[in-house]
Amino acid sequence: MEAKSMKSALKSRLAVIISVSMILALLGSHIASVGSVQASEPANTPFETEVIVRTVNQFKKKSDVTNFVSMAKQYGVDVISMNVKQDEDDEVPSGRVFYHSSIAPIAAGYHTFDALQEVITAAHNVGIKVHAWIPQFHDQEAFIKNSNWQMKALINGVPTPFTGSNGSEYFVNPLHHEVQQYERSIIQEVVENYNVDGVVLDWIRFDDYNMDVSDYTVQKFQQQFGYSPLNINFAVNSPQRDQWNEWRTDQIGLYVGDIRQDLSLSSKPDMQLGVYILPPEFVEVGQDVSKFKQYIDFIAPMAYFDDWDFNSDWVYSDQYGILKDTADRISGENVEIVATLDNDWSDDEYQEVYKGIRDNYPGIKRLSFFAYNKWPESELAKINQRTTWPTPDWTPPVEQDYQANLPAGWSARNIGLMPGDAGYNSVNKQFTISSRSTDIWGNSDQLNYIYQPISGNVDTIVQIKSMSAMDEWAKAGIMIRESLAGDAKHVDMMMTPGNGATFQYRQETHGGMSDQTANATVPRWLKLSRSGNNFTGSVSSNGTKWTKIGTVTISMNQQVYIGLAVSNPGDNQTNKAVIGNVSISQ
């Protein structure tokens, strides 16, 4: 792939000044030329834009198609990736289709409205490509069609039909040859009957290590390896589990190869084939692009860093993260990466991510965006506005303390640069702290931190009086951090609105986090203690009788930061945690 070319910077030149009169004569034109140069700052080569569309939300009738395609053209969309087969079990069951199929059941409302054909016709008329997004093994209709096709998970030692974490999602066995034949036949039908510009696979994976354990798969695995996967403890890492997972990923790779073979034998042998993939951290799903890179034309990694609780540089870093991993795994093959991004980040996050992609992965030409519901025109306009980002004048925001009404010695900082405020009522001696779109977890934190420096051993006690308008996994409590960096070592003792008390810690800089939890509700007293490198978290209902929740040993600097920490994954602007009876003793 060729790197994006950059326009060379314009340079203004001044003529030799030989007299004061010439300066005066040229003054007006010189000012104009400076303005022209400034207005002509070199722009980055625009990214191509792909939008992923859930048909059930966006296209219910022909006028919906006309209106959306018109907006897409207006805002520079290059590719519409529409799901021709339902992906989730929500508005309609997964597995139903939105085109005139003789193989799969047609979704209600689409028997007389061929959404796929209408989109192709309208989009091609204005020069927009259409990709058929075809989810594979998340398929309720196939699940119901044949009980032998059902994906089975080992639950309490018993093979059980897998219906998702909520009990209302339906999956079929990716390894069953009849399932594969059925799903491939749908792809073949779309390719032969519709003038799509590409096919994108989705849901070509399992959901965890403990599946599929149907009789079909157990027998197939046992014939090859001599033992039953039912004897594997899927909850514990082991050579047997690794062998099982490697075998599953091999089978997924072969399946994509079969689809490529189908396309090569079709009337459109050059049909573009791509796959949406989860981050590499999800090892348990048995999906590895290196197993099928030779069969595809493009790969679309889902780079939703905030959904996966990663820092933003996880998207574009050349040292770690989703694009680094994807690039490494497709090495040696001519496979295009289409970075798939969220549509709800801040402007600074988009500027940062776009810059990182341009700097570290200049071969990426197209960015893809997903909206779970109907696409608002305002979002398409924003995407179009961003195609040449980062803007020449953008500089990364710098974390710094913000102004807040706090007692002497205390400072306030939004670590991770997400919105949050703090205040102090000197009458009742209570802190009120808010935070939005934040979490203390993963390799880097986002939180509102009201802190002060401290050295040596310490005992800190607070009372969490209330937490309102917050996500059930919001956290409020006491924290000791080695530094104010997002990925710093730290220990905290927290309360949540819906998940009890949690003693959390990161033992290494940029490392993962661990926790120890207990049943408890707000209001609640919390205590966090340091003795050398030993840290202990406790809770109390009255502030005098304490129950230890956890203890951990972490090598941490003598000089640290101690304070009140609040994070909240929710976005309700009225959220607040009220914290009182704060005492720090040494």
Q: What is the pLDDT of residue 422?
A: 97
The answer to whether 135 and 203 have CB atoms below 8 angstroms apart is yes
The span from the CA of 314 to the CA of 518, in Å, is 31
What are 441's two structure tokens?
């977890």
| pTM for the structure as a whole | 0.78
Q: What is the pLDDT of residue 2?
A: 26
- CATH fold of 48-385 reads TIM Barrel (3.20.20)
Q: Where in the chain is the domain with CATH 3.20.20.80?
A: 48-385
3-state secondary structure (DSSP) of residue 21: helix
Q: What is the pLDDT of residue 42?
A: 66
Q: What is the pLDDT of residue 129?
A: 98
The span from the CA of 477 to the CA of 364, in Å, is 42
Q: Where in the chain is the domain with CATH 2.60.120.200?
A: 411-585
Q: What is the pLDDT of residue 437?
A: 85
- The correct answer on CATH 2.60.120.200 for the domain covering 411-585 is yes
Residue ranges, the chain, pLDDT below 70: 1-42
Q: Are strands 422-425 and 524-531 parallel, antiparallel or unpaired?
A: unpaired
**What does the buried/exposed string (b/e) look like for 475-512 if buried means 16 or more CB atoms within 10 Å of the residue's CB?**
bbbbbbbbbbebbbbbbbbbbbbeebbbbbbbbeeeee
423-450: pLDDT as tens digits: 999 999 999 999 998 999 988 999 999 9
Nearest alpha carbon to residue 396 among 340, 354, 448 = 354
